[in-house]
A = this chain, B = another copy of it.
Amino acid sequence: METVLDKNKTTHEVISLSGFLNHWQGHRSLTRRVIEAFPEEEFFNHSIGGMRPFAEMVMELLGIAGPGIKEIATGKTAPLNERVDHGSNKEKILQLWDRATDEINAYWAQIKPEQFQKPIKIFGQYDGTVCSSILYFIDNEIHHRGQGYVYLRSLGIEPPMFWER
């Protein structure tokens, strides 16, 4: 019986838990290289059309990823916080990025498969399921990273290849 269930689960699922995590971390690895591609000064100050500099978008992503997965894993809600001290230092932000990478891996291991379709009000504010929330974290990152690509191109800098993760 267990074998039948497991076999059925393995072959029929749209995406596996580990596949979903790898998908996310692959995107985060690409975003890290986009951060690296920015010159220090332009990372914090370059803007088009009144939009935020890329550093501010990255601080939003950092405010979402680690805290979001922590809330999903622990059930403890905290409001969204996009303001962590970084001293306008890109290296410091890359360190925060790497810490979030480790946090995501650690908390991911605590999430149970049966949680993914459960409702959650993430950051005490946004209604969805665990799955739709994580998809939103990823989509929001791709969205802003795509904007970072335009910033880089407008600075004459070639961004990393989109399909390299």
Contacts and interface: CB of A to CB of B under 8 A. Distances in A.
Nearest to A14: B116
B15 A131 contact: yes
DSSP majority for the A interface? helix
B142 A143 contact: yes
Contacts of A153: 48-51
A96 interface: no
Interface residues of A, number: 46
B48 A154 contact: yes
A155 B11 contact: no
B140 A139 contact: no
Interface of A: 4-5, 8-17, 19-20, 23, 27, 48-51, 113-114, 116-117, 131-132, 135-136, 139-140, 142-147, 149-156, 162-163
